Structure 1
Amino acid sequence: MEKIKLLPLTERPREKVQALGVQALSDEELLAILLGSGTPKYPLNEICTALGQYELSVIAQMDMQALCAFKGIGPAKATILLAVTEFCRRTKSLRLKDDRACYEYLRPLLAQATQLQYILLLLTAGRELLAFSEAGSVLPDITWITELAIEAGAGRILLARNGWPAFSNTESRYLSQLRNACEALGLICDGLMAVGPERFKMI
């Protein structure tokens, strides 16, 4: 990550959150928001780049001693990361209660896409979010979707894309096939969502 002060305003983490939502941040940008500042010896971008070599799930398993082993991170910054990890542990269940909630979650994820992009949401039967996966710029393979859903222990899925609100005949036929495949496996297919900047449409 480049030095934050040298980045254009629209690419700085705080400004990006205000414009696109926190879901649009990279892992390093998210860490930059949490840590707030660097030290006289170690700029914030260098600290976040060092942390960014690890998956967030790995960082979340680190204790005070492991975090303080990173140059530029002392007890104060380590405490912030530990507190965020504990906060997430206590509130880890994100329930997308309806199509509107799914739209609000998906909108920032698709806001920066420069071409057609599909995203797959994997949910429990009770609509708790398990994971999401980018699915490329063409309708994804149905077997890939169902295998991913089974592997994640999902009870329902939702496929979404950016772009025009109208659905093609190809998408309608595809969705029918996807629903049949899901029904055979005991999965609920909530449909296909077109995600726009201000509204959404479902089939």
Structure 2
Amino acid sequence: MTQGGDTMAITDWPAAERPRERLLGLGAGALSDAELLAIFLRTGVAGKTAVDLARDLLAEFGGLRPLLTADARSFCRARGLGPAKYAQLQAVLEMGRRHLHETLARGEPLTSPATTRRYLAARLRDHPHEVFACLFLDNRHRLIAYEELFRGTIDGASVHPREVVRRSLALNAAALILAHNHPSGVAEPSTADAGITRRLRDALALVDVRVLDHVIVGDGECVSLAERGLV
């Protein structure tokens, strides 16, 4: 929005069009990616409002997620950003992850597959390599711990059932949910994924620990092997 050839300051916009006021009035879900990013940026640069700058940044990075997951060098190189904004962003992202963790760790049984998948996606989706993790649960399916146990190419040789059994016994777990990511972004389980699940299920059954699910995390989706009948 311009006035007299100059970019109008965002504080001069009608209240109903300002991102912060729109968020307070309509909720965060009503805002576009550019509006949400503008609230984070707070200010624009010479000749651009925060919303204009946000739109430019989204175009430059190719969307919101590539911007949020950019490394420090790429992020700080962009106009209007820098080390302080990068630090703020990392703090915001970590608070989001911890919020999801606390949602799972409040002592209530894990009865919401959607919450569990959001948490696993937040923890695993952006790793550049495969990471195999476990949610260890008590006999009421309440969260005891989340641990990342193996990294690299996840196959039958790299996931060791004895280590999963050892951690389950150390944590006094009664059940667990297995999870790993596919850096390719495709969450479809492979034959190897199904084989690992069977091996772990059988090994853990010997110590009376039940495998509830194995969740494959891709780019934008999670696939449950339990729902596929593979657990």
If the length of structure 2 is used for normalisation, what is the TM-score? 0.50
1:191 is the counterpart of 2:216: no
1:152 is the counterpart of 2:171: yes
Q: Secondary structure at the match of 2:187?
A: coil
Q: Which residue of 2 aligns with 1:54?
A: none
Q: Quick one: which of 123, 140, 154 aligns to 1:126? A: 140
Higher relative CO (Cα under 8 Å, sequence separation at least 6) belongs to 1
Residue 154 of structure 1 aligns to which amino acid in structure 2? A
How far is the alpha carbon of 1:175 from its aligned partner? 1.0
| Equivalences, count | 134
Q: Quick one: which of 88, 102, 115 aligns to 2:129? A: 115
Separation in 2 of the partners of 1:105 and 1:95? 15
How far is the alpha carbon of 1:24 from its aligned partner? 7.0
Q: Which residue of 2 aligns with 1:58?
A: none
Q: Which residue of 2 aligns with 1:200?
A: 222
Q: Which residue of 1 aligns with 2:188?
A: 166
Separation in 2 of the partners of 1:129 and 1:103? 14
| Structure number with larger C-alpha Rg | 2
If the length of structure 1 is used for normalisation, what is the TM-score? 0.56
How far is the alpha carbon of 1:161 from its aligned partner? 1.2
Q: Is the 8 A contact 1:125 1:155 kept in 2?
A: yes
Q: Secondary structure at the match of 1:12?
A: helix
Separation in 2 of the partners of 1:185 and 1:7? 49
User: 4+ residue stretches of structure 1 with deviation over 4 A?
Assistant: 17-21
Q: Quick one: which of 8, 12, 18 aligns to 2:87? A: 12
Q: Secondary structure at the match of 2:147?
A: strand
- 1:53-64 mapped onto 2 (5 Å cutoff): none
Q: Is the 8 A contact 1:123 1:157 kept in 2?
A: yes
RMSD over aligned Cα atoms: 2.9
Q: Secondary structure at the match of 1:109?
A: helix
Separation in 1 of the partners of 2:129 and 2:215? 16
Separation in 1 of the partners of 2:124 and 2:98? 8
What is the percentage of aligned positions where both structures have the same residue?
Answer: 14
Q: Secondary structure at the match of 2:145?
A: strand
Q: Is the 8 A contact 1:122 1:157 kept in 2?
A: yes
How far is the alpha carbon of 1:197 from its aligned partner? 4.1
Structure 2 unpaired stretches of 5+: 1-80, 226-231
